Chain A
Amino acid sequence: MNFLLLSLIKAGIVAGVLLTTLAYLQWIERKVIAHIQLRVGPRRVGPHGLLQPLADVIKLLTKEDMLPSHVNKFFYFLAPFIAVMFALISISVVPFGPEINVFGIQTYMQLTDLNIGVLFILGMSGMGVYGIALAGWASNNKYSLMGGLRSSAQMISYELPMAMAIAAPLLILNSLSFRELVNGQGAYYFGFIPNWSIFHGPFPQIFSFIIFLIAAFAETNRVPFDLPEAENELVAGFHTEYSSMKFASFFMAEYANMITVSCVATLLFLGGWHPPFPAEYGSKFIPTIIFAIGGLTCFYHAANPARRLDKFTLPVFGVVFLVIAAVFMLPIAGKILLPFFWFASKVGAILFLYIWVRGTLPRFRYDQLMRFAWTVLFPVAIVNLFVTGLAVALESK
């Protein structure tokens, strides 16, 4: 099968899955935050609010697209385009699984494997700053400008500890290509402790992981570091003057960045698609068990409905879950679906952490944010990198 056609098909699949995930991440976020705050969240559109993302997209597409009279038109239109393009492009180097064989075609579950993959993602996230900075400047509005300035200062500051935290596991795994990084984390200590970076000898990268996560929250402008769009001081920050689809593209860029950062954390620190314990001890049955329990829970709650409609909707979900559980038992699924399941569940766990933090932590003050980056996070990252380098050098002696 020729390379171009195969790449096109893979790009289509990845783009489709990514955009669907983007839309539903928003739904999941609203649901989780609602449950943290003891509400039920979106429920009106479709069963359990499942069609809410579709309704949101239609609303955003059909809204009136305002063009303020005082903006710099060229950069005003360019900014959302830059933001969303550099947010989406990073996914092309992320591997979702190992080499697979579909209908006799050998291929990797990845669009392309660059031998500078990690640097590529760093570069793209650096270019993404322009979208936000330009949006703030071109809007010609003091709140927008403040938001844009804050965001570029914050992203420059947090890029340093982030790069340092990324460099530490690279020293141990000795590669810049994501596929090789994940392959280097495949083994097990004593047969059951996974060889992921956060447990990897000679110096476990747990500190790098924490530094990376903190810096990632700041890089993606998320609570508690969402100063660029702090609504109580800056209206909406850099996207105050944007409406309709242009507003939606900033929204999309933020969620795409969240997904990319979670993927990078998974690949660098959590062993990518490798299961947390070996297949001999039954890790291949975990997805089946989880989905089966999910299905049975649905049936249980359908039998004791909390709301009137639950009697009819929950059995449907139960059947869907049981079918997925059965699919995971098929032998072909083991090759393709299992690695993807582990990858997706790790990414999902980090995304859940994002939402959880948003539901729990208040926002920092801006001076606290900058002081934390330069006087705490950066020195800790340097010490961590130094110790890792020392441990690697001593081990190789």
Chain B
Amino acid sequence: MDALLFLIFAGIAVICAVSLVLQRHPISSALSLVGVMASLAALYLLLGGEFIAAAQLVVYAGAIMVLFIFVIMLLNAGTEKKIVKGPMVRFFALPLLVILLGILGYVVQSLLPVSAPVNFGSFTHGAPQDVGRLLFRNYLLPFEVTSVLILIAIIGAIVLARKEIE
């Protein structure tokens, strides 16, 4: 059952990711990205990371992507123009891409250390309590530093936007 669900959601994620690149309209691309994020949330849930799954859904798929779509709608961005391809591109693009991906996959696999295979249901520390305990005990300093960093980014964004109005 777990493997079947994994295949379904991984399939949706891959299809959405491909469609994200292939779509010509920004809104379609943004919605494909929402699809990728939502199916990733489902994958997290399958692996036992309940809090991460919920955060992925609330923050990325829910808040950030709505903001993206909001901006695209406001700017009324149009469809991308199709670039005319030369004969070289037409004949060599796909085989070269497959070769590149194959080499990349091989290199990454040979570089990574051999680890135990992941089993569904073996990880049971994904509840909000566990994540909170880790964040506020073991990783308190990085967590707080990150929040300060984000605050700096927000202030920076406001300062930059203000200058442009003047």
Hey, which bits of chain A sit against chain B, CB under 8 A? 75, 114-116, 119-120, 122-123, 126-127, 129-130, 133-134, 136-137, 145, 148-149, 152-153, 155-156, 159, 176
Whether, in the assembled complex, B61 has its beta carbon less than 8 Å from a beta carbon of chain A, the answer is yes
Measured CB to CB, the nearest residue on chain B to A176 is B128
B 107-137 binary contact with A (CB < 8 Å = 1; else 0):
0000000000000000000011000000000
Do A126 and B69 form a contact, CB below 8 Å, given A75-B27, A137-B27? no
Q: Is B96 on the interface with A (CB-CB < 8 A)? A: no
For the complex, give the distance between the alpha carbons of A159 and B70 in Å.
Answer: 15
Output the nearest chain B residue to A125 by Cβ-Cβ distance. Answer: B62
**Chain A proximity of B36: nearest CB distance (Å):** 14
Per a CB cutoff under 8 Å, which of B27, B57, B74, B127 touches A115? B127
Q: CB distance A137 to B73 under 8 Å?
A: yes
Bound-state Cα–Cα, A75 to B25, Å: 12
Alpha-carbon distance A149/B71, docked complex (angstroms): 9
Per a CB cutoff under 8 Å, which of B27, B58, B63 touches A119? B58
A129 touches B128 (CB 8 A): no
Q: A127 with B69: in contact, given A116-B128, A120-B54 (CB under 8 Å)? A: no
The range of chain B's interface size is 20 to 34
Q: State whether B57 touches A127 (Cβ < 8 A).
A: yes
Residues from chain B with Cβ under 8 Å of A129 in the complex: 62, 66
In the complex, residue of chain A having the shortest beta-carbon distance to the beta carbon of B69: A133
**The 7 nearest A-B residue pairs measured at CB:** A126-B62, A119-B54, A123-B57, A123-B58, A116-B54, A116-B50, A152-B70
Interface pair B69/A130, CB less than 8 Å apart: yes
Determine whether B21 belongs to the interface, using a CB cutoff of 8 Å to chain A: no
Chain A proximity mask over B37-62: 1 for CB below 8 Å, otherwise 0 = 01001000000001101110110011
| Binding site secondary structure of chain A | helix
CB distance from A206 to the nearest CB of B (A): 25
- Interface residues, chain B, with chain A CB atoms under 8 Å away: 27, 31, 34, 38, 41, 50-51, 53-55, 57-58, 61-63, 66-67, 69-70, 73-74, 127-128
In the assembled complex, the CB of A80 is this many whole angstroms from the nearest CB of chain B, namely 15
Q: Quick check: B62 and A127 within 8 Å, CB to CB?
A: yes
CA distance A133 to B55 in the complex (A): 22
Distance in angstroms from A62 CB to nearest chain B CB is 32
* Known A126-B62, A127-B57: A114·B50 in contact at CB below 8 Å: yes
Q: Name the CB-closest residue of A to B54.
A: A119
Shortest CB distance B140–A (Å): 16
Contacting pair B66 A130 (CB below 8 A): yes
Name the residue of chain B whose CB is nearest to the CB of A117: B54
In the assembled complex, the Cα of A126 lies from the Cα of B69 at a distance in Å of 13
CA distance A116 to B67 in the complex (A): 24
Cβ-defined contact, A115 with B61, below 8 A: no
Q: Indicate if the CB atoms of A145 and B73 lie closer than 8 Å.
A: yes
Known contacts A75-B27, A115-B127; A122 and B69 CB within 8 A of each other: no
- With A133-B69, A156-B66, A156-B67 in contact, do A115 and B128 touch (Cβ < 8 Å)? yes
Known: A115-B128, A149-B73. A126 touches B67 (CB 8 A): no
- Partner of A126 from the list B51, B53, B63 (CB cut-off 8 Å) is B63
Bound CA span A251–B115, Å: 52
